[in-house]
Amino acid sequence: MNIIGDTAYLIGGSCESSENENVYTLYMNSFEWRIVKTSGEGPGAIEEHTAVVYNRNIVVYGGYCLKGRHVWIFNTEEKHWTCKPVGDDPRRFPQPRSGHAACVIGENMWVFGG
């Protein structure tokens, strides 16, 4: 879950009986949940990923996703997904992972473990 202003964003997840590909918002002032109508190609059903905030965008990496190994960017103002493929050079890009942690420091996303 990520918080931008007074809005919390929840992306994907799963439970015992289903997987989820929705983006949800929780408006902190009213504690009202909504499903966000999005455009563009998002990650679909995804779980055990990380999501960080950078310039009002939510950057999603890793986890279990049927659409492949990519970095997904959700623009919270336009409600639009963009996909950025990750290269194959293990010296420049992390190997596929789940159960990891991530954070933003300056203009970089740091990925740990998994």
pLDDT tens-digit profile of 37-60? 999 989 988 889 999 999 999 999
User: What mean pLDDT is predicted for residues 9-36?
Assistant: 90
In the chain, domain spans? 2-112
What is the Cα–Cα distance from 104 to 31, expressed in whole angstroms? Answer: 27
Please list the residues that pair with 70 across neighbouring strands.
85
Amino acid at position 23, single letter: V
Kindly report the number of other CB atoms within 10 A of residue 102's CB atom.
19
What is the Cα–Cα distance from 104 to 54, expressed in whole angstroms? Answer: 7
Give the global pTM.
0.89
Q: Which of 48, 80, 79 is closest to 65 using CA atoms?
A: 48
Structure tokens at 107: 């203009």
Work out the mean pLDDT of the chain and round it to a whole number: 90
What is the Cα–Cα distance from 63 to 76, expressed in whole angstroms? Answer: 21
We find that the CATH architecture of domain 2-112 is 6 Propeller (2.120)
46, with CB counted inside 10 A (0-12, 13-18, 19+), is buried
Predicted pLDDT at 95: 77
